[in-house]
Amino acid sequence: MLASLIPNLIPVVGDVLDRFFPDKEKAEQAKREIEAQLTTHLAQIDLAQLEVNKAEALSRNIFIAGWRPFVGWSCGLSLCYVYLIQPIAVFIMGQTGYLVHLPELDISTMMPVLLGMLGLGGLRTWEKHKGVTR
């Protein structure tokens, strides 16, 4: 998330540096140094988040380690409802003469969460295969 800010910050920083460094070469060198520092800082933030994720995954407390499975099951059930349960139920009820309107879920806000978790699910499978987890 923060890494996406770098391309937006560099032009702003470049404009400020151009005012302080009339020499183009020195301004370019300063821009490169600032970009390197930003990239290093963002990498450190990512590594710190990975350590937090590891600590959460090792916890046996359901309120610490259980939120990911809860979100996964919630997303899975929502997807199942949207693409299987609701359309089939409406079809069957329509065929039997009961015209009902079951609620439709807007899953456009849920899909990024689900797709992100599916990507992480591959890592979880690898952990289980290697015997890292219980």
Check: CB of residue 13 under 8 Å from CB of residue 34: yes
Return the pLDDT at 2.
54
Q: Tell me, what's the pLDDT at 63?
A: 65
Q: What is the pLDDT of residues 56-110, one digit of tens each?
A: 777 777 766 777 778 888 888 998 999 999 999 999 999 998 888 888 888 888 8
Provide the pLDDT for residue 80: 92
pLDDT band, residue 116 (cuts 50/70/90) = confident
**Both tokens assigned to 24:** 């183009």
Q: Is the pTM of this model over 0.95?
A: no
Distance of CA 55 to the CA centre of its chain: 18
Structure tokens that stand for 111 in this block: 């899909």
What distance in Å separates the CA atoms of residue 127 and residue 133, rounded to the nearest whole number?
A: 6
What is the pLDDT, as a whole number, of residue 113? 82
> Can you tell me the distance from the alpha carbon of 97 to that of 85, in angstroms, rounded to the nearest whole number?
18
